[in-house]
Amino acid sequence: MADQAALDALANGSHGDPFAVLGLHKQGTAKVVRTMQPQAREVRLLSAANEVVAVMERIHPDGIFAAELPARLRSYRLQLTGYHGEIAIVDDAYRFGSSLGDIDLHLLREGSHQLIYEVLGAHRMRLRGVSGTRFAVWAPNASRVSVVGSFNDWDGRRHPLRLHPGNGIWEIFVPGVRSGAQYKFELLDRQGRLLPLKADPFAHYCEAPPGNASIVYKSRYRWRDSSWLKKRPADPRLDQPVSIYEVHLGSWRRATQDNGRWLTYRELADELVTYAVDMGYTHIELLPVTEHPFDGSWGYQPTGLFAPTQRFGKPDDFRYFVDCCHQAGLGVIMDWVPAHFPTDEHGLHRFDGTALYEHADPRKGLHADWGTLVYNYGRNEVVNYLIGSALYWIKEFHIDGLRVDAVASMLYLDYSRKAGEWVPNRHGGNENLEAVEFFKHLNTAIHRLGAISLAEESTAWPGVSRPVFSGGLGFTYKWNMGWMNDTLAYMRENPVHRKFHHDKMNFGLLYAFDENFVLPLSHDEVVHGKGSLLGRMPGDDWQRFANLRAYLTFMFAHPGKKLLFMGAEIAQQHEWNHDGSLDWDALQSPLHAGVQQLVRDLNHLYTSRPALHAKDCSSDGFAWLDWNDRDNSVLSWIRRGSSNQAMVCIANFTPVPRDNFVVGLPAGGMWQIALDSDQERYGGSGTANPEFLSATEGQYQHQQWHVNITLPPLATLILEPSNSH
């Protein structure tokens, strides 16, 4: 018989090895079944065919029952009678052995399980012919772990998990638990103290705040994007156009006819996808859709790295959204946050009573600026968790790329820390060597699946987007934060003063090809009092819109892939508000509608002309015509796709039209204006140039040909040979 101490420990929820007592065990020559059912007045032992074998004896007053199983039977079930007379026939969780294989346990122990999300968490399955859910969680320093939920009255005594001591994995198969069941983990720390209930780190679906339960979920989605996936290159194609529409799903558009609620994933699959395709974007980038407790974090303080936020629907609804993007020819990039996590008590913070996912030392484990915790990249299990999340989104949701947030904060041990607030690495430096190795493994794994990775990295760390084999971090692209800061600072200047700041517009070309850059005009530039892009432009209304049009055209003509945050394309007047919708009514104004039309035309021009995208990341695709015309605040340059594909770009950042302006051309013949940001259809003045421009032979700006044009005020022109397209 089980001794009284073991029964007492089960009854008070402190027993660390319930499978040693509960379930079917030999007792001498007999077979005895023990079960913990504190909610039951009576328990009967049944055969697998539901025949009553015995009325079980209550061997502990808190609801532990036992009975001998006849030798002829190899399996059993239980009939429970509640205190109000209700009867239920159930399968006993403690008659099932572990469903985790030796290979899974070995890979989990060394932190190298590429499909970790298929092992840990909650998974619907059939075991020995019985349907239920397996729950598994990593908590090596807990003395007891239970799964609690609606299926066991949130009673931690009912379903304590089995410990695999070699790797700290706890697991149990609970028969009868269906999709939609809410659950959490109840843990005792190593001293036996009860911790706050924890959400599942691997949950695939979560309860809406302020609730924080995890929800059992099994996908039943049938994908229809096989043709898209087959076309996705095995290696990143830097010669392809990339124009990204960055979107916060909760504030792109609201259902104004329904109290301004959020649009669902399925509604967005119709409205947002249709809009992005019409506008000519190649990709949609989503601010993090990983589950997060606070709307105002925009998703950047996630608690569920394996769950699409429930704010807009269920996980299969998000799959539908991605599927519709692919069928419409749009790639999907998702912002992903491995840099930090919030301190919410239901999350990863001191998950098993110790600093498990984070560093124990606050000099390494705390982001004081954000009040968040830093992952321990030196722990294999934590790295496995993070890389498993990245692969999960690519494999399970067909995401085409991950934009990794706050990379600089991960690379530097002294990031936003004063002397004495950080710990040097083993060489005495400030580089986080463990994070460096993490990035190399992460990007190798991402590229192996045919997806891309983008780094939001704001420093001069070398080789961020260079291959791992050549010493780089292995990202596909890096955000060019320097270009963004310099050019926006220039555009804020009154045009009369811009000649004194001319270098801000050309300096970026000194390093433009050191990395594979994306030019980002992101959400970070239209929050926290910075105003909208339009709001930064000087002058009266006409000049402000003209400045914005000239700047956006300058961006699309500049080397580097493109990213625009939602609202920039309609010249949003006000700073972004995540609690509302974009100001779509502004499009009733011709000036706002003109900017939208310009961005639409820029996207279509950029994606259709190899000269504007094929060598975005190569120095032989760019040449200055004149980088130093500071007195006129004019810049002119050539973009090349190949030796016979060239376009000429001229930007005039003053409100002064310039007649008979001479610009060099790389070829003779007839040229035409492919795009003029001053056209009347965009809200411009419509300064006229002939439909066709005839090149004149004669060296100018180191070119063998040149042409005289009228340079419109506050405008950027893009010229191309008339027979090139």
Q: Choose the catalytic residue: 285, 405, 486, 515.
A: 405
Q: Choose the catalytic residue: 246, 434, 456, 569.
A: 456
Q: Rounded distance, CA 673 to CA 649, Å?
A: 10
- Side chain identity, residue 18: P
Q: What residues have CB less than 8 Å from 319, skipping those under 6 apart? A: 219, 221, 223, 397, 398
Tell me whether strands 331-336 and 401-404 are parallel, antiparallel or unpaired.
Answer: parallel
Q: What is the DSSP string of 590-636?
A: HHHHHHHHHHHHHHHHHHH-HHHHTTTT-GGGEEEEEEEETTTTEEE
- Side chain identity, residue 380: N
Closest to 569 (Cα-Cα) out of 543, 527, 540, 603: 603
Say if CB 574 and CB 536 are below 8 A apart. Answer: no
Note if 456 is an active site residue. yes
Note if 405 is an active site residue. yes
Helices (H) and strands (E) in the chain, counts: 14, 38
Entry field: residues in the chain: 725
Q: What residues have CB less than 8 Å from 43, skipping those under 6 apart? A: 35, 37, 55, 56, 65, 78, 79, 80, 81
Q: Rounded distance, CA 505 to CA 633, Å?
A: 10
- Strand partners for 719: 648, 673
Phi, psi of 662 (to 5 degrees): -100, 130
Say if CB 473 and CB 462 are below 8 A apart. Answer: no
Phi, psi of 229 (to 5 degrees): -65, -35
Q: Which helix (H) or strand (E) holds 34?
A: strand 30-36
Q: Rounded distance, CA 718 to CA 725, Å?
A: 14
Catalytic residues: 405, 456
